[in-house]
Amino acid sequence: MDSIVIKGNGPVNGQIPIAGAKNACLTLMPATLLSEEPLTLTNAPRLSDIKTMAELLASLGTEVAGLQDGTVQALGTKEITNHVAHYDIVRKMRASNLVLGPMLARMGHAVVSLPGGCAIGARPMDIHTDALEQMGATIELKDGYLHAKTNGGLKGAMIKLRFASVGATENILMAATLAKGTTVIDNAAKEPEIVDLAECLRKMGAQIEGEGTSRIEIQGVDRLHGATHPVVTDRIELGTYMLAPAIAGGEVELLGGRRNLLEAFCDKLEEADISVTETAKGLLVKNKGSRVKAVNVKTEIFPGFPTDLQAQMMALLCTAEGTSVLEETIFENRFMHAPELTRMGANIEVSGGMATVTGVDQLKGAPVMATDLRASVSMILAGLAAEGETVVSRVYHLDRGYEKVVRKFSGIGAQIERITT
Ligand code: EPZ
3-state secondary structure labels for all residues of 352-378 = CCEEEEECCCCCECCEEECCCHHHHHH
Instruction: Kindly state the DSSP code that residue 33 receives in the 8-state scheme.
Output: G
Give the Å distance between the CA of 116 and the centre of ligand 1: 13
pLDDT in tens, 348-404: 999 999 999 999 999 999 999 988 899 999 999 999 999 999 999 999 889 889 999
Among residues 118, 200, 266, 318, the one annotated as catalytic is 118
* Side-chain half-sphere CA neighbours of 323 within 13 A: 8
What share of the chain has pLDDT > 90, as a percent?
82
Which listed CATH number (2.40.50.140, 3.40.50.2000, 3.40.720.10, 3.65.10.10) goes with 2-18+233-420?
3.65.10.10
For the domain covering 22-230, report its CATH number. Answer: 3.65.10.10
At residue 216, φ and ψ (nearest 5 deg) are -115, 135
Average pLDDT score over residue span 291-299 = 97
Q: Helices (DSSP H) in 108-234: which residue ranges? A: 126-134, 166-176, 192-203
Whole-number pLDDT of residue 40: 92
Residue 97 DSSP one-character state = G
pLDDT of residue 386: 97
Q: How far is CA 263 from the centre of its chain?
A: 17
The sheet with strand 158-160 has its strands ordered as 158-160, 182-186, 215-219, 207-209
Ligand 1 atom showing the smallest separation from residue 301 Cα: 12
Kindly list the protein residues whose Cβ atom lies closer than 6 A to any atom of ligand 1: 23, 26, 94-95, 121, 123-128, 163, 165-168, 307-308, 330-331, 373-374, 401
Q: Kindly state the average pLDDT of the residues 82-95.
A: 87
What confidence category does residue 269 fall into, taking pLDDT thresholds of 50, 70 and 90? Answer: very high
**What confidence category does residue 121 fall into, taking pLDDT thresholds of 50, 70 and 90?**
confident
Helix (H, G, I), strand (E, B) or coil at 233: strand
Task: Band the pLDDT of 64: cuts 50, 70, 90.
Answer: confident
Give the residue among 231, 109, 131, 212 at the shortest CA–CA distance from 176: 131
Closest ligand 1 atom to 167 CA: 19
**Sequence spans of domains, the chain:** 2-18+233-420, 22-230
Which ligand 1 atom minimizes the distance to the CA of 170?
A: 19
Neighbours of 290 (CB within 10 A): 9
131-138 long-range CB contacts below 8 Å, 24 or more apart? 131/157, 131/159, 131/161, 131/168, 131/171, 131/172, 131/185, 132/100, 132/101, 132/104, 132/171, 132/172, 132/175, 134/158, 134/159, 135/159, 135/172, 135/175, 135/176, 135/179, 135/183, 136/179, 137/104
Is 200 among the catalytic positions? no
Beta bridge partners of 356: 325, 349
User: Mind listing the pLDDT tens digit for each residue in 134-188?
Assistant: 999 999 999 999 999 998 899 999 999 999 999 999 999 999 999 999 999 999 9
To 10 degrees, what angle do helices 166-176 and 100-107 make?
10
- For all residues of the chain together, what is the average pLDDT? 94
Residue 25 has pLDDT above 90, yes or no: yes
Given pLDDT bands bounded at 50, 70 and 90, which one contains residue 245? very high
Give, for 51, the enclosing helix (H) or strand (E). helix 48-60
**What count of other Cβ atoms lies within 10 Å of the Cβ of residue 82?**
12
Nearest C-alpha neighbor of 66 from the set 51, 85, 79, 88: 51
Maximum Cα–Cα distance for the chain, whole Å? 65
pTM of the prediction?
0.96
285 alpha carbon, distance to own chain's centre: 22
